[in-house]
Chains A and B, each alone.
Chain A
């Protein structure tokens, strides 16, 4: 049985890679076929993952692929840890992955780089699968980097646009900074516990004496998650990543890849539990990100950017939960699961809107789309309901779980921040829906908008169903709901958290309706939020100051100090002395031969000496 499961897992991992390679090696000439093969492989991996999820036994791959064997202390392998966590995560990745492939068939129909797009999408599926199935840190890091590069390729899909090319570069480099910490963390964990394998680390972590270093190690590992899941202070790449095609934003920059940081923390929750100081930092960073991103979302006008900031904010919730121990970690993964569906839905909905409005992304240039795009509107509305945690939708249950855990763990500060976010989220989402979908149409593009075709609205409808129901046992069976999503649970815990978050919901929506109904201009002007607290400008200044000017200075030093000192001076001496120069300039073979002979003789003379 084990070997069958492993074979299945290998197939899930390698199929997308084979597809990506095939497209690259020649299939790319037939772009329609490339797209179909890629989508077909996504469907097939989804089916495989359903089989995997059905088989409940936990296994660690015993027949791992020996990647590099560096002696007894370090054997780097590619092998799988198939437990509830990874099986559940694989279902999220492959189901949303398939729907996004399907949606892309419509969205990218006439794109010149369609083959390249689908090849990159398949490469992403391969990389993401590797992260989820990894049974050791190095393997996870390998695929961690590979999702980074697939994200780079997809953000920069329209690379002739300077903004897209820059956004791709920014995303990769910001992630590299996080990975700098991640790698140090992996090395520190290795010297502290003697292993890179999660199960072995788990067994050894209790025996670590140097707790200070362990805390630092966990914080370093957390840096990786800060980069990938776009937490403060490395959040700056995610909004820019919206330069990529919208289905990519749905799959990679909302549902799955950005959640990889959270998944990684959940995978090593035993390390976080062993490091109190680090756990506190993680909770605070998550809560602060949730709040800061929600504030920035208030004043954005680009439909995708609003959703991007809301993703940041929701990721903040999930990260915050990872600092709250095993219970919190489960709650965070639960939210990751529900969020993946409703946020993918919102992005695909936004994609449908953008597609229908001829690539208009400014919500103030839309309006009235409720009647023009009924299917899109209703599915978008259901996704919004889940995001703002309307009772009994999936998002409601998972957010309650995180907030309640924070309260139980006595993390009052983060709890308060999270509650403020529970008011802000309904506010900015209601603003988005009112401005884009209600009132009169404000531009010709919005006027001419027509509902998208079935290949695009079918995924929307399926995801809308998931946005509402995904938390319930019959859908989340193999996942992490752990019986939280039921009415009995709600009423037995109907306490402070539920009251506060419902108040936040009502107040947020009411405020948005009051402020934005029937408006054609934003009545609020908060430059600080609109300009994202000027953090991008600050970083740009820091990079110019510390990196570029130091680089220019050192280049100067290298040219005019080091070089003259150790090179030009002796070279100059030789040149002034040298009529040899003429030998080169003459350039004829005789003088060369002569020179060469002299050289060889001098050499032999030197050696025999």
Chain B
């Protein structure tokens, strides 16, 4: 078995073990730490100088029927998927640590931990798959427990309704995505689900898709992936879902699983249908400005921390879309960096939000205040999350954002093209982010402590470790983005070479 196979199977096998009766929290913790260590080991052994080729590849044919594409469980890593693997592993460890102890779970703790493992395992499987079928299937595998977790363990009275909303939304999104993928597969007349071969095939003269087909493929993929990433106006599932999801699920979905759609756009949509990408560029710009400015303003209006974080997570997707719209080396590198950074920072903020909700029974801005005095450590860590999120240099998010802005501005022309105007709008979004994040920080942590608020004990270690892990990651990558960019650079180079044909 190759390392990647072990990394993908470990959480799934652990989920099985939990289902069969092994101690839930311990098993989950062991598996997630194992995945993290193996991923870090893989990163160390990864050679960044190969021109974007997959490394650590493995392939097992599962099903071969004449006339149909062969079905193989195939894995491999390039720099981009490696970065997302690291993201998944870090957030998984944090999410499992943040999850309540077995006794504190109302309902079946077994099922709780099993679901967390499945969500992460599915995401990791999707990021590591080089086979289109499993790329899709692993993501679906992760979605189902997400829905169920919100329905069973969510907070708030509307959780069942919310669970159904997200199920329907993401189900429909996945379906549109599936249609787009099938269209691409059939249009190239391929006999393989192998992603690199598929893209190579799409570039071979004679086999290439017509511009019309590319246009359809890209549009379907944009909307399908877009729904999964809460692209405006398909975003309304996201904020309630994150607000009502159990904390570890919000961390895993907003932090990791949602990146699947963005990853898919870069991995598949851009290389398969470059003409489509060009054609729909202005639509994408319009929608992403919707994410940044419209959702940004909606975020300002929120009165509760959980919903505000949910909306802010929707908003920040706009920046990653901008990097994808730029489509050049600088912009795409920034997009991948920001995917990682956003995943870590939103996981940190959701973890803190969950802790505050648990301790005080509310996340309403008007009912909280002055916490920094009695809980200085919490205040500091929340500050890290806030400043990372608003793009302060020194945190990973800034490196991604600035690369995206430069990428979107790049080009020979001295005129203000549409994408440059969109960048100006996106830059105003940076002001908006600062407004709502600093307001939240001000409301919850500064000013006098409301009299009614009972101050709890300071953080426990099982809370402190994941928070420190996430904060330290943000700082490390912020100070030295090359830690990740060394992997991203060859991957994006390779991708652009392929896209250019």
- Chain A interface (Cβ within 8 Å of chain B)? 24, 66-71, 73-74, 76, 138, 141-143, 145-146, 149, 156, 159-162, 165-166, 169, 172-173, 176-177, 179-180, 183-184, 187, 190-192, 209-210, 213, 547-548, 550-552, 554-555, 558, 562-563, 566-568, 570-571, 574-575, 578, 581, 584-585, 587, 589, 592, 595-596, 599-600, 603, 606-607
> Contact between B236 and A183 (Cβ–Cβ < 8 Å)?
no
With A142-B393, A180-B428 given, is the CB distance from A575 to B161 under 8 Å?
yes
What CA separation (Å) do A237 and B268 show in the bound complex? 48
**Which of A138, A571, A587, A606 contacts B152, CB < 8 Å?**
A587
> Contact between B442 and A71 (Cβ–Cβ < 8 Å)?
no
Chain B residues whose CB sits within 8 angstroms of the CB of A548 once the complex forms: 300-301
Interface residues on B, range: 35 or more
What CA separation (Å) do A599 and B118 show in the bound complex? 14
Chain B residues whose CB sits within 8 angstroms of the CB of A589 once the complex forms: 108, 110-111
What CA separation (Å) do A184 and B294 show in the bound complex? 21
What CA separation (Å) do A368 and B178 show in the bound complex? 83
What CA separation (Å) do A24 and B431 show in the bound complex? 28
Chain B: CB-nearest residue to A543:
B435
Tell me which of B107, B294, B297, B411 has the highest count of chain A C-beta atoms within 10 A of its own C-beta. Answer: B297
Q: How far is the CB of B370 from chain A (nearest CB, A)?
A: 6
With A149-B387, A159-B445 given, is the CB distance from A190 to B403 under 8 Å?
no
**Which of B108, B152, B169, B373 contacts A567, CB < 8 Å?**
B169
Chain B: CB-nearest residue to A170:
B438
Q: How far is the CB of B465 from chain A (nearest CB, A)?
A: 16
Q: Taking the complex as formed, is B148 at the interface, i.e. its CB lies under 8 A from any CB of chain A?
A: yes
What CA separation (Å) do A180 and B160 show in the bound complex? 42
What CA separation (Å) do A213 and B449 show in the bound complex? 51
Q: How far is the CB of B1 from chain A (nearest CB, A)?
A: 24
Chain B residues whose CB sits within 8 angstroms of the CB of A571 once the complex forms: 161, 164-165, 168
B438-465, CB < 8 A from A: 438-439, 442, 445-449
Chain B: CB-nearest residue to A149:
B392
Q: How far is the CB of B418 from chain A (nearest CB, A)?
A: 15
Q: Taking the complex as formed, is B316 at the interface, i.e. its CB lies under 8 A from any CB of chain A?
A: no
> Contact between B399 and A169 (Cβ–Cβ < 8 Å)?
no
A-B contact pairs, 17 of them (CB 8 A): A70-B334, A70-B403, A145-B393, A146-B393, A160-B373, A169-B438, A172-B438, A180-B431, A191-B411, A551-B300, A554-B301, A555-B298, A555-B302, A570-B172, A587-B152, A592-B111, A607-B137
**Which of A74, A160, A554 contacts B406, CB < 8 Å?**
A74
**Which of A138, A554, A595 contacts B294, CB < 8 Å?**
A554
Given A67-B480, A184-B427, 10 other A-B contacts at CB below 8 A? A159-B447, A162-B447, A165-B442, A187-B405, A187-B406, A547-B435, A567-B165, A589-B111, A592-B152, A599-B144
B330-356, CB < 8 A from A: 330, 333-334
Q: Taking the complex as formed, is B151 at the interface, i.e. its CB lies under 8 A from any CB of chain A?
A: yes
Q: How far is the CB of A179 from chain B (nearest CB, A)?
A: 8
Chain A: CB-nearest residue to B163:
A584
Q: Taking the complex as formed, is B136 at the interface, i.e. its CB lies under 8 A from any CB of chain A?
A: yes
Q: Taking the complex as formed, is B329 at the interface, i.e. its CB lies under 8 A from any CB of chain A?
A: yes
> Contact between A172 and B434 (Cβ–Cβ < 8 Å)?
yes
Q: Taking the complex as formed, is B255 at the interface, i.e. its CB lies under 8 A from any CB of chain A?
A: no
Chain A residues whose CB sits within 8 angstroms of the CB of B373 once the complex forms: 159-160
With A146-B394, A187-B409, A562-B236 given, is the CB distance from A68 to B399 under 8 Å?
yes
Query: Contacting chain A: which of B31-39, B86-94, B275-283, B481-489?
Result: B481-489
What CA separation (Å) do A70 and B328 show in the bound complex? 10
What CA separation (Å) do A568 and B162 show in the bound complex? 10
What CA separation (Å) do A172 and B438 show in the bound complex? 9
Tell me which of A68, A69, A192, A592 has the highest count of chain B C-beta atoms within 10 A of its own C-beta. Answer: A68
Fill in one digit per residue for B160-197: 1 if any A CB lies within 8 Å of its CB, else 0.
11011100110010010010000000000000000000
Chain A: CB-nearest residue to B300:
A551
Chain A residues whose CB sits within 8 angstroms of the CB of B295 once the complex forms: 558
What CA separation (Å) do A80 and B133 show in the bound complex? 51
Q: Taking the complex as formed, is B467 at the interface, i.e. its CB lies under 8 A from any CB of chain A?
A: no
What are the 6 tightest A-B residue pairs by CB atom distance, in nearest-first order? A555-B301, A165-B446, A142-B393, A551-B300, A551-B301, A159-B446
Chain A residues whose CB sits within 8 angstroms of the CB of B111 once the complex forms: 589, 592
> Contact between A169 and B439 (Cβ–Cβ < 8 Å)?
yes
Chain B: CB-nearest residue to A548:
B300
What CA separation (Å) do A179 and B427 show in the bound complex? 9
With A70-B333, A159-B372 given, is the CB distance from A567 to B393 under 8 Å?
no
> Contact between B107 and A66 (Cβ–Cβ < 8 Å)?
no
> Contact between B297 and A550 (Cβ–Cβ < 8 Å)?
yes
Chain A: CB-nearest residue to B334:
A70
B194-240, CB < 8 A from A: 233-234, 236-237
Q: How far is the CB of A409 from chain B (nearest CB, A)?
A: 30
Q: How far is the CB of A293 from chain B (nearest CB, A)?
A: 24
Q: How far is the CB of A393 from chain B (nearest CB, A)?
A: 39
Chain B residues whose CB sits within 8 angstroms of the CB of A67 once the complex forms: 399, 480-482
With A184-B424, A550-B297, A592-B111 given, is the CB distance from A190 to B446 under 8 Å?
no
Chain A: CB-nearest residue to B432:
A547
> Contact between A607 and B133 (Cβ–Cβ < 8 Å)?
yes
Q: Taking the complex as formed, is B102 at the interface, i.e. its CB lies under 8 A from any CB of chain A?
A: no
What CA separation (Å) do A28 and B407 show in the bound complex? 41
Q: Taking the complex as formed, is B364 at the interface, i.e. its CB lies under 8 A from any CB of chain A?
A: no
What CA separation (Å) do A176 and B160 show in the bound complex? 40
Chain A residues whose CB sits within 8 angstroms of the CB of B233 once the complex forms: 562, 566
**Which of B380, B406, B414, B445 contacts A213, CB < 8 Å?**
B414
> Contact between A187 and B152 (Cβ–Cβ < 8 Å)?
no
Q: How far is the CB of A545 from chain B (nearest CB, A)?
A: 13
**Which of A71, A156, A567 contacts B330, CB < 8 Å?**
A71
Q: Taking the complex as formed, is B43 at the interface, i.e. its CB lies under 8 A from any CB of chain A?
A: no
Chain B: CB-nearest residue to A192:
B414
With A146-B393, A574-B168, A606-B178 given, is the CB distance from A69 to B152 under 8 Å?
no
> Contact between A575 and B435 (Cβ–Cβ < 8 Å)?
no
What CA separation (Å) do A587 and B159 show in the bound complex? 13
Q: How far is the CB of B53 from chain A (nearest CB, A)?
A: 19
Chain B residues whose CB sits within 8 angstroms of the CB of A187 once the complex forms: 405-406, 409, 420, 423
Q: Taking the complex as formed, is B13 at the interface, i.e. its CB lies under 8 A from any CB of chain A?
A: no
Q: Taking the complex as formed, is B17 at the interface, i.e. its CB lies under 8 A from any CB of chain A?
A: no
Chain A residues whose CB sits within 8 angstroms of the CB of B299 once the complex forms: 551
Chain B: CB-nearest residue to A177:
B431
> Contact between B161 and A567 (Cβ–Cβ < 8 Å)?
no
Chain B residues whose CB sits within 8 angstroms of the CB of A570 once the complex forms: 168, 172
Q: Taking the complex as formed, is B476 at the interface, i.e. its CB lies under 8 A from any CB of chain A?
A: no
> Contact between A69 and B446 (Cβ–Cβ < 8 Å)?
no
> Contact between A173 and B435 (Cβ–Cβ < 8 Å)?
yes
Q: How far is the CB of A549 from chain B (nearest CB, A)?
A: 9
Q: Taking the complex as formed, is B73 at the interface, i.e. its CB lies under 8 A from any CB of chain A?
A: no
With A173-B438, A176-B434, A187-B406 given, is the CB distance from A145 to B236 under 8 Å?
no
What CA separation (Å) do A192 and B409 show in the bound complex? 11
What CA separation (Å) do A462 and B417 show in the bound complex? 55
> Contact between B434 and A173 (Cβ–Cβ < 8 Å)?
yes
With A173-B434, A562-B233, A584-B160 given, is the CB distance from A183 to B405 under 8 Å?
yes
What CA separation (Å) do A551 and B445 show in the bound complex? 23
What CA separation (Å) do A142 and B398 show in the bound complex? 9
Chain A: CB-nearest residue to B118:
A596
**Which of B160, B423, B439, B449 contacts A585, CB < 8 Å?**
B160
Q: Taking the complex as formed, is B9 at the interface, i.e. its CB lies under 8 A from any CB of chain A?
A: no
